[in-house]
Amino acid sequence: MKIVVSVIGVVLVAALTLFADAAHECERTCEAGDTRTCYYTFNLQEYHTMSRACFNCPFNTTDCSRPECIAGDGVARPLITINRQLPGPSINVCEGDRVVVDVYNWMLSDTETIHFHGHHMKDFQYYDGVPFVTQCPILGGSFRYNFVTTNSGTLWWHSHSGMLITNH
Ligand SMILES: *[C@@H]1O[C@H](CO)[C@@H](O)[C@H](O)[C@H]1NC(C)=O
């Protein structure tokens, strides 16, 4: 059984797939007895669409699919990203795997927590991402989420802090 944890996004899925990094070692055909520890790094930062990573986009549409280029609707605007991707990075693991995510908050003025929606988090309640309840919000530093997956499906992670909750 496969667990897919990803941020919900509607644009640029195809572009992201084209230029996605080489598959993570945990992205595999799941087999009984093969459980792994899967490490991820999330760099959270203020970024912008139509950045210099987009080169000559939209005039050369190939450039619009370059890594770290978020074209959006073609209008330059600020946004907050994880690993300069929209949608954010996916986590593809097998049920029973341990997921370890180091979240670095590089934003200058906002705190952050990440909620891994749909995971039961039994015995891992301190990684549920609820600010001021299960953890201090991440401010100017990092936090390591560390939990074992116990249910399968296509789930999604999202921000659970301040105004960023709206960035589902
Ligand atoms: C468009 O950009 C790609 C690289 O992103 C480049 O290989 C190609 O030559 C460009 N096309 C034109 C017409 O400039």
Q: Which CATH number goes with the domain that contains 7?
A: 2.60.40.420
Alpha-carbon distance 76 to 53, whole Å?
A: 12
CA of residue 63 to ligand 1 center, whole Å? 7
- Least trusted range by pLDDT, from 1-10, 23-32, 46-55: 1-10
CA 83 to CA 80: how far, in whole Å? 10
Give pLDDT, residue 6.
38
Output the CA 89–ligand 1 centroid distance in Å.
Answer: 26
Whether 98 contacts 146, CB under 8 Å:
yes
pLDDT digits (tens, 9 = 90+) for 101-153: 999 999 988 899 999 999 999 999 999 999 999 999 999 899 999 999 999 99
Residue 143 located in a structural domain: yes
- Is the pLDDT confidence value at 88 over 50? yes
Cα separation, 145 vs 160, in Å, equals 14
In a domain, 113, yes or no: yes
Domain presence at residue 97? yes
Query: What pLDDT is stored for residue 49 in this prediction?
Result: 97
- Return the pLDDT at 134: 94
Nearest atom in ligand 1 to 63's CA? 5
- Coil, helix or strand at residue 30: coil
User: What's the domain count of the chain?
Assistant: 1
DSSP secondary structure string, 43-78?
EEEEEETT-GGGTTTTTSTTGGGSTT---TTS---E
pLDDT tens across 28-82, in order? 999 999 999 999 999 999 999 999 999 999 999 999 999 999 999 999 999 999 9
The answer to whether the CB of 17 is under 6 A from ligand 1 is no
The confidence score (pLDDT) of residue 165 equals 62
Asked if pLDDT for residue 8 goes beyond 50, the answer is no
Indicate whether 135 belongs to any domain: yes
Task: For residue 57, tell me if it sits in a domain.
Answer: no
Which range marks the domain in which residue 142 is found? 2-51+78-160
Of all protein residues, the one whose alpha carbon is nearest to atom 13 of ligand 1 is 60
Q: What is the distance in A from the centroid of ligand 1 to the CA of 24?
A: 29
- Assess whether the C-beta atom of 63 lies below 6 angstroms from ligand 1: yes
* Ligand 1 probe mutation, 18, 55, 62, 65, most atoms within 8 A of CB: 62
Taking 80 as the threshold, does the pLDDT of residue 2 lie above it?
Answer: no
pLDDT of 109 reads: 86
Would residue 44 count as lying in a domain? yes
